[in-house]
Amino acid sequence: MELPAAFKTKYERLLGDQFPAFLQSFTDTPQHGFRINPLKSPAQLDVDTSHPIPGIQLGYYGKVSGKSPEHQSGYVYNQEPSAMLVAEAFNPQPGERVLDLCAAPGGKSTQLAGMMQNQGLLVANEINRSRAKVLVENLERFGVWNPLILNETPEHLSKAFPAYFDKILVDAPCSGEGMFRKNPEATTYWNEEYPAECALRQRDILTEAVKMLKPGGQLIYSTCTFAPEEDEQIIAWLLDEYPLEMIPLEKQAGMSSGQPAWANGNPELQDAVRLFPHLFAGDGHFIAKLQSTETAKPTKIRKQEASASGAERKEWQQFAEQNLTNFQAGPLLRFKEQLYSFNPEIPALNGLKVMRPGTPLGTLKKNRIEPSYGLAMVLNPEQVQRTIALSDDQWQKYVHGDTFATDQIQAKGWALLVYHQMPVGFGKVVNGTVKNFFPKGLRFQA
């Protein structure tokens, strides 16, 4: 990889004696990592857990194939090791109201949901429509319960959620310098002015994020760049402009402190964390945690009301009685042709660009419900009256979208398909054949 000359000159000046090792790190093989999903029921996983990532719950060095059963079923999520540390610094608690403002593709959102144990409210937002669709897929596959997934601008969100969230994550769009090793193409659009241009956008995003932070709430800011313009200088600006104070982050081996000299000299900036690839086994990252010192009362908002009709609620009840055991949905919301369970804490959705208002339970058909893939992903086998244990060949047929025969169930009806104890979706048994309901957009050749 050929780094831009101006980039090398800049960091030789900033890093001094460390620059040769820093430069050498760009020739090293990028680190890979994956996390095991704590939201799923116990299963037999064929993954290598012999190389745990220090400080990451259920995080391991290595990579799991995207075409493996563990990945398809949402039991594992591939994520760069440094990126995992952001959620650990965020440290969300069960029951909190949490916003991931720039959430796609969903790595940090899925990690937050796991740490929250699916309790509380997770709002995951992505301004780019195509990336928001990927966010939906990953949260659904991971079995996140009742997330609110939006495709909104920060400006519009701040009007819907004034002083609302306990914690907000801004994993900001940035110049991506820390990802050059993983994505060498990023070096082609880097120039000396690019970090400053990104910083302007980051300030706009943070201006709206602060409006959504409730008094005493916490704001976590992270980037995958080394640029002081987007890191220490952004935090210095936040501390000057808003009633915020730094929360010191614990530093493990290989982690560096923020550099006050790279901004306005504020010693609080040392409380941030820098991850350099020549010191830490991961890509470049910056993480800072701030807390609101506001004392005003949180703003009340008008909440979303359940909108399913009496007939639709009855259809769901009949489906649940016939197919499920010990499963309790939340309030029911009809959204387009889908019936959803949703978190009653969410605001009224009128005017918001909603990708998912909660967990999809099923598609409303004439006098019946066709269960959704999203429902299958939040269930464990003990919550379903009928399951089919798939062979290797049957799983491959399922993910390819094919029908297959079964002798495990004779009566017509729905069954949860399970592979090595991992729920992978619903099938409908008709005359000894399992009809395939794996979403067409997710199908692949295993």
Active site residues: 224
- Count how many residues are written for the chain: 446
| 105 is known to lie in a ligand binding site | yes
| 251 is known to lie in a ligand binding site | no
The whole-angstrom distance between residue 381's C-alpha and the CA centroid of its chain comes to 24
In the 8-state DSSP scheme, what is residue 181?
A: T
| 108 is known to lie in a ligand binding site | yes
Whether the CA torsion 133, 134, 135, 137 is positive or negative: it is: positive
| 347 is known to lie in a ligand binding site | no
| 376 is known to lie in a ligand binding site | no
> What are the beta bridge partners of residue 356?
149
User: What is the token pair recorded at 256?
Assistant: 């560096």
Rounded to an integer, what distance in angstroms lies between the CA atom of residue 80 and that of residue 60?
A: 10
| 83 is known to lie in a ligand binding site | no
Give the number of other CB atoms < 10 A from CB of residue 107: 23
Specify the DSSP element, H or E, that contains 364: strand 359-365
Give the number of other CB atoms < 10 A from CB of residue 296: 10
| 107 is known to lie in a ligand binding site | yes
Nearest residue to 244 (alpha-carbon basis) of 198, 278, 206, 280: 206
Cβ partners under 8 Å of residue 319, min gap 6: 362, 368, 369, 371
List alpha helices for 272-379, DSSP H.
Answer: 310-323, 373-378
Rounded to an integer, what distance in angstroms lies between the CA atom of residue 377 and that of residue 375?
A: 5
Q: Is 374 helix (H, G, I), strand (E, B) or coil?
A: helix
Rounded to an integer, what distance in angstroms lies between the CA atom of residue 98 and that of residue 116?
A: 9
Q: State the amino acid at position 48 in one-letter form.
A: D
| 401 is known to lie in a ligand binding site | no
Rounded to an integer, what distance in angstroms lies between the CA atom of residue 360 and that of residue 146?
A: 9
DSSP code per residue over 393-420: HHHHHHHHT--EE-SS--SSEEEEEEET
| 174 is known to lie in a ligand binding site | no
What is the SS3 assignment for 326-346? Answer: CCCCCCEEEECCEEEECCCCC
Rounded to an integer, what distance in angstroms lies between the CA atom of residue 122 and that of residue 150?
A: 11
Q: Which residues are annotated as a binding site for S-adenosyl-L-methionine?
A: 102-108, 126, 171
Binding site feature residues: 102-108, 126, 171
